[in-house]
């Protein structure tokens, strides 16, 4: 139940912060979306054993980025 509450808060925050036109133009031009994360904020974001970004918000941001790309 806690994860659903966190997801609702994250989505509400993201919905309330519109991307600037310059940001969207840069994404269109480069085809790249850059995301930052904290490497030690378990379970939200962290580096897994392979050294890659992982965690709840990392997965959520990857899904959002996939939707923006489409």
CATH topology of domain 2-69: D-Maltodextrin-Binding Protein; domain 2 (3.40.190)
Is the per-residue pLDDT at 22 higher than 90? no
Spell out the long-range contacts of 25-28 with Cβ–Cβ below 8 A and sequence spacing 24 or more.
27/68
Q: How far is CA 16 from CA 6, 19, 48, 62, in A?
A: 15, 10, 30, 19
Cα R_g (the chain), whole angstroms:
13
Half-sphere exposure for 58 (CA within 13 Å, toward CB):
17
pLDDT digits (tens, 9 = 90+) for 44-65: 999 999 999 999 999 998 988 8
Pair 39, 51: CB distance under 8 Å: no
pTM of the model: 0.60
């Amino acid at each position: 139940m806690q994860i659903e509450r966190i997801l609702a808060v994250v989505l509400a925050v993201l919905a309330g912060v519109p991307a600037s036109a310059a940001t969207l133009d840069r994404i269109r031009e480069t085809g790249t979306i850059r995301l930052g994360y904290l490497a030690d904020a378990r379970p939200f974001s962290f580096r897994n054993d392979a050294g890659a970004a992982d965690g709840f918000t990392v997965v959520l941001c990857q899904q959002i980025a996939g939707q923006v790309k489409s």
